[in-house]
Amino acid sequence: MKLAWHEWRAGFRPGDILVIGGGLAACVFFALTLWQGGVARWAEVRAGGKVVARLSLDRPASVDVDGPLGQTRVQVEPGRARVLSDPGPRQYCVLQGWLSRAGAVAICAPNEVSLRLLGDSSAYDTLNY
């Protein structure tokens, strides 16, 4: 049995192309609507547990926050944010580098400053049943 392409092509009727096109469109639609969760839109900066700044990730910005040890500097670029400098002794939050996904957090514990990225809807960071 020889399987020539024109044999298979005969299986397509005009409406079939429509249905397949609709199916592919549905795929694209689902991907666009359901795969948006990880995109970060806002950077939230807290000091001593209180929100001190909420920056849009649309444009570059930077903010200085005062804590018990001194000044922590947070830098924002389109789509990402990081702790640029911190007076803490071990520099964990600085070494974490750029954060780009919703729900990502950098915590400068000694200086009581934290940076957190938020999406359109709040993402879970833990689930418990």
Partner 1 sequence: MTRSTTELPVTNADVRIARYAAAAIALSIAEAAIPLPLPGVKPGLGNIITLVVLARWGWREAAWVALLRVFAASLVLGQFLAPGFFLSVSGALISLGVLALAQHLPKRWFGPVSHSVLAAFGHFSGQILIARLWLVPHDGIFYLVPVFALAAVVFGTVNGLVADYLLRHASLRATPSD
From the list 6, 49, 126, 127, which residue makes contact with partner 1 (rule: CB under 8 A)? 127
Binding mask 35-74 for partner 1 (x = CB under 8 A): x-x-------------------------------------
CA-based R_g, the chain, Å = 24
Whole-angstrom distance, CA of residue 127 vs CA of residue 119? 18
Residue with smaller CB distance to partner 1, 87 or 103: 103
Contacts (CB under 8 A) with partner 1, residues 1-30: 1, 7-8, 10-16, 18-20, 23-24, 26-27, 30
Residue 128, Cβ density class (10 Å: 0-12 exposed, 13-18 middle, ≥19 buried): exposed
Inter-residue contact 45 to 26 (CB < 8 Å): no
